[in-house]
Amino acid sequence: MFASALLTFCLAALATVKAAPQPVSPVKRQSPSLIYSCTQPNTAAISFDDGPYDYIYDIVNTLNSKGAKGTFFMRRCMYDQDSQDRIKYAFNNGHQIASHTWSHPNMVDLSWDQLHNEMWRVEEALQRIIGVTPAFIRPPYGNFNDQVLQAAYSRGQNVVIWDFDSGDTVGADAQESKNRYDQVANQRPNTIMALNHEVVASTAYDVLPYAIDRLQSAGYQLVTVAECLGMEPYQNVGQAQTNDENLRQLDWTLRQPSCVQPLFSRTLRAYHWGEVADLTSLRWSSINDG
Ligand SMILES: [Zn+2]
């Protein structure tokens, strides 16, 4: 009898505990997310800005062959068939696709509406081409202000900068970039968030294989930006649009004013288009001409 009463009491107590108020939803972020570094121990996230570009196939193949993941921050010119194929190739191989704005502006110069325009164009393109809404954005040049953070926050996008720069668009040649990777591997910080550029040939073909080997032998796991933060790469994952012809039509209406606008400097652009054979022969001042 006593045991039975005790059991009843315990069950009632359990029921009471069960009925106690519980948090009904996950804790929401209270302020914009601004990220400089990974949080998961012993991870390194190698990221590539300014694509989709033709080198992406070899970059992805190199990453794959060494058991590494990369993250691609992409901007405009996504709807032509080549660009669609490039984005799909990286995505289908399990690498992260993120936003680098549509027209690569200096975001601190933009109005609230212009900021949203820059963000939604990329979101829409990625939804159409690979069926995802990105959860991460990297502002061009790493430039942002509070309005940029608020706009990104309102669209569910985390703003990612970096804590290591290979220097590939600010004058470092391949050897200098390799030296930088050596240096950081020797310093052995807990994590690394590495900035590189997809459009630089020496990054794709010379520095990247070296950097992967160097970081892996220093004990880092090479993962995506989202993985190194323990976060989801996309706000949602749905179905890509399958009508490529439809998307190619969009290319003509959205490709504006041109897909070959200056990205960082006249000299690098000339290099990019094959007019300059070797960047290492150029002086620092001439590289920063634009
Ligand atoms: Zn960029």
Least confidently predicted of 62-76, 142-156, 173-187, 263-277: 263-277
More confident residue, 230 or 21: 230
Domain count along the chain: 1
CB 121 within 8 A of CB 110: no
Instruction: Establish if 279 belongs to a structural domain.
Output: no
Least confidently predicted of 41-45, 188-192, 266-270, 275-279: 275-279
CB 72 within 8 A of CB 90: yes
Instruction: Establish if 177 belongs to a structural domain.
Output: yes
Is pLDDT of 202 > 90? Answer: yes
CA of 20 to the centre of ligand 1 (A): 51
Q: How many residues does the chain have?
A: 290
Instruction: Establish if 160 belongs to a structural domain.
Output: yes
Q: Output the pLDDT for position 131.
A: 95
CA of 27 to the centre of ligand 1 (A): 33
Q: Output the pLDDT for position 77.
A: 76
Instruction: Establish if 170 belongs to a structural domain.
Output: yes
Instruction: Establish if 191 belongs to a structural domain.
Output: yes
CA of 1 to the centre of ligand 1 (A): 76
CA of 7 to the centre of ligand 1 (A): 66
Provide the token pair at 123.
Answer: 């979101």
Instruction: Establish if 107 belongs to a structural domain.
Output: yes
Beta strands in the chain (DSSP E): 34-35, 43-51, 70-74, 96-99, 132-134, 136-137, 158-160, 164-165, 192-197, 221-222, 234-237
Least confidently predicted of 51-55, 94-98, 239-243: 239-243
Instruction: Establish if 269 belongs to a structural domain.
Output: no
C-alpha distances (whole Å) from 179 to each of 44, 76, 137, 186, 192 are 17, 32, 28, 10, 15
CB 165 within 8 A of CB 200: no
Instruction: Establish if 82 belongs to a structural domain.
Output: yes
Q: Output the pLDDT for position 280.
A: 43
* Segment 21-39 mean pLDDT: 70
CATH code at 63? Answer: 3.20.20.370
CA of 11 to the centre of ligand 1 (A): 61
Question: In angstroms, rounded to a whole number, what is the distance separating the alpha carbons of residues 123 and 235?
Answer: 10
Q: Which of 241, 234, 245, 254 is nearest to 118 (CA)?
A: 254
pLDDT digits (tens, 9 = 90+) for 60-92: 999 999 999 999 999 877 888 888 899 999 999
CA of 264 to the centre of ligand 1 (A): 7
CA of 279 to the centre of ligand 1 (A): 18
Q: How many CB atoms lie within 10 A of CB 85?
A: 14
pLDDT digits (tens, 9 = 90+) for 162-188: 999 999 988 899 999 999 999 999 999
User: Position of tokens 């179905």?
Assistant: 239
Element spanning 180, H or E: helix 174-187
* Radius of gyration of the CA atoms of the chain, in A: 23
Question: In angstroms, rounded to a whole number, what is the distance separating the alpha carbons of residues 208 and 178?
Answer: 9
CA of 4 to the centre of ligand 1 (A): 71
Print the domain residue range for 242: 34-259
CA of 203 to the centre of ligand 1 (A): 14
